[in-house]
Structure 1
Amino acid sequence: MNKIKQIFVCSLFFFLSCNLATEINTDTITIVAGTSKITGRIITPDDQNKDSIMVTITVLHPISGENIRHEVLADQSGKFSVDIDVETDISYIGLYTSVNLSKTLIVKTINGGLTNIDIAYNSNRDFENIEVRPDMNEYDMTRRMEVLSKMIDYRPDTSGWVYPRLFDKSIDEFLDFANSNVSKRMALFVDNDHEFSKEFKESIAKDYRLFLYTGHVFDYERQMKSNYRNATRDTIGKPEIQKIDRSYFRFLKDFNLNDPQYLHTFTFPEFQDSILKNEVLGLPVIGESDIPSWLASVKGILADLVGFDEGPYYDILAANAYGRQFNEQVEPLTEKQKENITSYWKDGEIAKILARKNEQVIELDKVKSPVVVNDISNVPEDKVMETIVSKYKDKAVFIDLWATWCAPCLEAIKQFRVTKGDFRDKDVVFVYITNGSSPPKLWEEKIKGIGSEHYYLTDDQWTYMMEYFEFEYIPSYLLYNKQGVLIDKFSGFPGNDAVKEMIDGQLNE
């Protein structure tokens, strides 16, 4: 469940549901294919490590359906500057620095404007002073991510508390439990905190609800298996899981998904992705369908579940459907898709956002290597790695252990796309390994955007590998030299530069 929490630390929408050719205003939120400039200065005690401070900025892109991460190195004076694409007139960014990765700021940016952020740290690497222009409520800015993290991690410490047993309860009981969870944690951490603005209290509630449902409710079967293991401590047995149908998703009605404030929540793209890919809901892939026909099919499935059949939500969902093609498959728009988008949105802002994203994907597609799927399901557990490495004689082999549900894995893969392209036609092979925890259909979709060599291990093969290399979590990585000798193993993505240096070291030997 690190999936979305990672996105926090490391929105809804919208616009009129008719196809306008001008800017789309949704109450106080306007969708625009805009840009913003972020500048600032990082000040540390005695000017320590000024030339190695990395500033990481996460920008909400609720229309194209992903949060974009920028990394910029501060100069010797601690100054930094970066231009970012934005998709709403007012956007929020998450910002942290390598001085203290756990201290994240939420900062407002304005389309076409300049946001300046000066941060001074004390000797304990805590914030000593923060100056932001345009002005913001400092408590909102500094505490939102900290409070969200506490809400996510909270476990009651009352005497006699036991892990809730839900796997053998009715579906209604489980959904009631999930719904009450939001209210209880808001009461514990937010409702009585008078320092937060009303806007941020509402936004925190939305972000936490999106996180909870995306990570714990959408995939009922996986959640019940997890609940069984945690509640019973039985890692071998398997509970009998109730079957769900589309009616299970009636909880969507509680979200009021036409509320424009979702545009300013970090978890919204992940939530939308969960709706679009859910096999029980079975929404059609947008492909080359004309948008009105696609929306008619989608409304036939969702209208009763979300509680409305008109409104901004549906148009944003359509934009997000194209976003899945961009983000999952790294596949540019076809000419037919471009025609459909122009026909529906004319030269409006959503059309501009999708066109801008398409140009970026075209560049990524140029460096994407073909997908090769390898079947080694019959290979003994203790021979798996030997079999894989021996296939790539006289080449360095960089191996990524990942899963479709692992947000840090997916974020690392996305970050490494361009850098990986630098190794085209060089003596290195990139290998991606997962197992049955990645649903086959979803795995097949995601690897289209990854390219390179892929292996889908049996559970026994995976367990043996994780234990043999003493990996406790993913993403984890292995690097073999051209002679097939293991050079390095580590968990957690260390960044593009570090991985590039490791691989270059083997290629230059």
Structure 2
Amino acid sequence: MTTDINTDTTTIVAGASKITGRIITPDGHNKDNINVTITVLHPISGENVRHKVVADQSGKFSLDFDVETETSSLGLYTSVSPYKTLIITPTTNDSTHIDITYDSDFNIKNVDVTPAMNKYDMRQSMEVLNKMINYRPNKPPGWVYPRLYDKTTDEFLDKVRSTVSERLALFVDNDKIFSKEFKGIIAKDYRLFLYTGHVFDYEAEMKRNYRNATQDRVGMPEIQSIDRSYFRFLKDFKLNDPQYLHTFTFPEFQNLILQNEVLGLPTIGESDISSWLATVKAILADLVGFDEGPYYDILAANAYAHQLNEEIKPLTDKQKEHIEQYWKNGEIAKILFRKNQQIIELDKVKSPLVVNDISSVPEDKVMETIVSKYKDKVVFIDLWATWCAPCLEAIKQFRGTKGDFRDKDVVFVYLTNGSSPQKLWEEKIKGIGDEHYYLTDAQWGYMMDYFEFQYIPSYLLYNKEGLLVNKFSEFPGNDVVKEMIDVQLK
């Protein structure tokens, strides 16, 4: 079975690696505009770190990056074929070289990588994962959408388990070309993806199921409340398996465990780690099926990482003391201190958080009210949501560049609405800083319609005279946005 416990060990290390490569395209394609996007898994500091590099005129590129396991995982795609992601496994203190050749239709014709790895693993892993995620079976005559909102949680969880088994049987289990290692990783990543998106928030999932099953967009089902025992499904995951450190969804999964209100794990704060873990084990041990193992140390590291990543709040002296006492000079401590140093630099340029209430302002006066508050300043407005992964990634990418405008005549404004749970929104904005507005649904709807936005993230740029000079959707990159703002500051 692809979900069996993996007996190989994954060594955690505060290391570094390098990737070089060349993009080979048909004659005439402009290599000056080829971007290479590389996402490196950082399972200990709890995030997937995205890097963007530009290939030179000969198609060559190079990137030095931090890693957190001896053999790491990264996803790589280029602007030539942005929907085709290659999975590469670099090793710490080593260099990986990759040549990607495209045909005249800009499909990948060939990939050569050194040190060698299974090319099928490299090229098909993300492809198969996406097929499982997007798979829609043919519906037989008389098929009706399954009603789960009025069933027991056992019936719902059984349905989810069967979905995982069915998709793995279709796309992974009988594939003879995938390596056993990658079969295990893909299976784990898919299960993590399905559960993070559809199982953790039971109430939201049952509301979705009610709407889809009944087509009722107004009514609301009576949803049973859940307690901690609902999370008994965690036992199926066998979370001590080190392969989880090579899955893209693991950081999000860990954050959900740390923040889930029903589970109610305490924040780590300035607790000593052993005491915090004792409290956590009292809650989780029966649910995950074990009370010892590397998973708990990783969860503790992720608890600190949540503070670092979400709040952009450096470790306190007491926290650093506890980390040194518990992990000594170990690799997890080195990783957390390395991450802390990066956060210290970001914290220096982070603007104070300001929350504004304009809930009583008429929908057609919202933008006028916001812009007028910042007279004689350039105003950059970001429409986003806590559930919007591209929004959060753009905010994260722009952190450092935004700091370049500190003490200049520009203000950064963030707008969201009730689709972002207020408590989660209050947590997220701590790490963003600047000006925030939580709009009513009517205000948000008017804004989206008035500016003809179809989706988020979307952006508005006003000059110092309060005139709209640009509006666009999708984040175009730090350099483009910086240039837009610089023009208005001149």
The answer to whether 1:353 aligns with 2:335 is: yes
Report % sequence identity: 77
The answer to whether 1:293 aligns with 2:293 is: no
Give the Cα separation in 1 of the matches to 2:324 and 2:190: 35
Shift of 1:192: 2.2
Give the Cα separation in 2 of the matches to 1:197 and 1:350: 29
Q: Which amino acid aligns with 2:350?
A: K
Aligned with 2:378 (options 396, 399, 402): 396
Q: Deviations over 1:120-159 (max 9, x none)?
A: 1111111111110111111110011111111111112234
The answer to whether 1:323 aligns with 2:309 is: no
Tell me, what secondary structure is at the counterpart of 1:80? Answer: strand
The answer to whether 1:121 aligns with 2:81 is: no
Compare 140-149 and 438-447 and name the one that shifted more.
438-447
Q: Deviations over 1:452-490 (max 9, x none)?
A: 000011222222222222222221111122222222222
Q: Which amino acid aligns with 1:93?
A: L
1:127-276 to 2 correspondence within 5 Å? 127-160=108-141, 161-276=143-258
Q: Deviations over 1:422-456 (max 9, x none)?
A: 11111211111111122222111111100000001
Compare 309-318 and 152-161 and name the one that shifted more.
152-161
Shift of 1:27: 4.2
Q: Which amino acid aligns with 1:174?
A: F
Tell me, what secondary structure is at the counterpart of 1:229? Answer: helix
In structure 1, stretches of 5+ residues that fail to align are 1-12, 15-25
Higher RCO structure, 1 or 2 (CA under 8 Å, sep 6+): 1
- Runs of 4+ in structure 1 deviating by more than 3 angstroms, as ranges, are 159-163
Q: Provide the residue aligned with 1:88 in structure 2.
A: 69
Q: Deviations over 1:208-234 (max 9, x none)?
A: 000000111101111112222222222
Shift of 1:163: 3.2
Q: Which amino acid aligns with 2:176?
A: H
Q: Provide the residue aligned with 2:390 in structure 1.
A: 408
Q: Provide the residue aligned with 2:431 in structure 1.
A: 449
Compare 361-370 and 377-386 and name the one that shifted more.
377-386
Q: TM-score, normalised by structure 2?
A: 0.97
Q: Provide the residue aligned with 2:24 in structure 1.
A: 43
Q: Provide the residue aligned with 1:110 in structure 2.
A: 91
Shift of 1:285: 0.6
Q: Deviations over 1:173-204 (max 9, x none)?
A: 11111111111111122222212111111111
Shift of 1:167: 1.7
Tell me, what secondary structure is at the counterpart of 2:73? Answer: strand
Tell me, what secondary structure is at the counterpart of 1:83? Answer: strand
1:299-378 to 2 correspondence within 5 Å? 299-378=281-360
Tell me, what secondary structure is at the counterpart of 2:449? Answer: helix
Give the Cα separation in 2 of the matches to 1:457 and 1:108: 44
Give the Cα separation in 2 of the matches to 1:175 and 1:480: 49
Q: Provide the residue aligned with 2:35 in structure 1.
A: 54
Compare 156-165 and 197-206 and name the one that shifted more.
156-165
Aligned with 1:72 (options 33, 53, 56): 53
Give the Cα separation in 2 of the matches to 1:216 and 1:492: 25
Q: TM-score, normalised by structure 1?
A: 0.93
The answer to whether 1:421 aligns with 2:403 is: yes
Give the Cα separation in 2 of the matches to 1:468 and 1:225: 29
Give the Cα separation in 1 of the matches to 2:210 and 2:473: 27
Q: Deviations over 1:21-75 (max 9, x none)?
A: xxxxx94211000000100111110152112211110001000000101111111
Aligned with 1:480 (options 452, 458, 462): 462
Q: Which amino acid aligns with 2:96?
A: T
Give the Cα separation in 2 of the matches to 1:235 and 1:503: 41
> Against the structure 1 CA distance between its residues 407 and 115, is the aligned structure 2 distance closer, same or farther, given a 3 Å change threshold?
same
Give the Cα separation in 2 of the matches to 1:163 and 1:361: 47
Tell me, what secondary structure is at the counterpart of 1:45? Answer: coil
Q: Deviations over 1:323-355 (max 9, x none)?
A: 001100011111000000000000000000001
Q: Deviations over 1:372-418 (max 9, x none)?
A: 00011111122111111111111111111111111111111000000
Aligned with 1:502 (options 481, 484, 487): 484
Give the Cα separation in 2 of the matches to 1:209 and 1:323: 23
Give the Cα separation in 2 of the matches to 1:314 and 1:482: 52
The answer to whether 1:430 aligns with 2:383 is: no
May I ask how many residue pairs the two structures share in their alignment? 485
Q: Provide the residue aligned with 1:5 in structure 2.
A: none
Q: Deviations over 1:292-345 (max 9, x none)?
A: 010011111111111111111110000000000110001111100000000000
Q: Which amino acid aligns with 1:429?
A: V
Give the Cα separation in 2 of the matches to 1:507 and 1:235: 46
Tell me, what secondary structure is at the counterpart of 1:38? Answer: strand
